[in-house]
Structure 1
Amino acid sequence: MRRVTGRFTGGELLSDVYGSFGIRVQRFVPAVRRAGATPRWGMDDPTAVEGWHAGLRCVGRFPMWAVAGGRGRGPGAAVPVLRLL
């Protein structure tokens, strides 16, 4: 994160993450199993990224079902929008 924030004087970063529940149920998703992917961490609190760098602030969050126009299914992690101050 220091390399990114050190290169730019400001901006916004959009991140797509799973919550811890989403990580636990990934083993039941056929596409994930076929790919051999093993997601290892989730983020239940989007504001936690503020601890990654002193200049980061969470300025918004959008649950996947809201972003998908209400078509998303089940609980999912929020998509944090971060601003480098």
Structure 2
Amino acid sequence: MIWQRYNARMTDALLTITDLEAAINFWRARSPAEGEELRLCAEASALAKPYALMIVQGATRIAPEQLGDKARAAYEAWRAATQG
């Protein structure tokens, strides 16, 4: 399975689904969806795939290494903007 479920030994290293959702909402507020198809901005779009897969698989946490480069960059930029 690509997405890891909660693992007590790796709690600090894993990203939560709540954090991914907050990051997506941050990017959506910063750059609202566009066009008739309501296309997400690049950052929200990059985070949406791992978020959706986590929901489908019932995962609550994911290792940062499992995010693609664009998703990881969007997540890290959100953290820097919101948590100093």
Q: What TM-score comes out, normalization by structure 1 length?
A: 0.27
Name the one with the larger helix percent: 2
Q: What TM-score comes out, normalization by structure 2 length?
A: 0.28
Name the one with the larger strand percent: 1
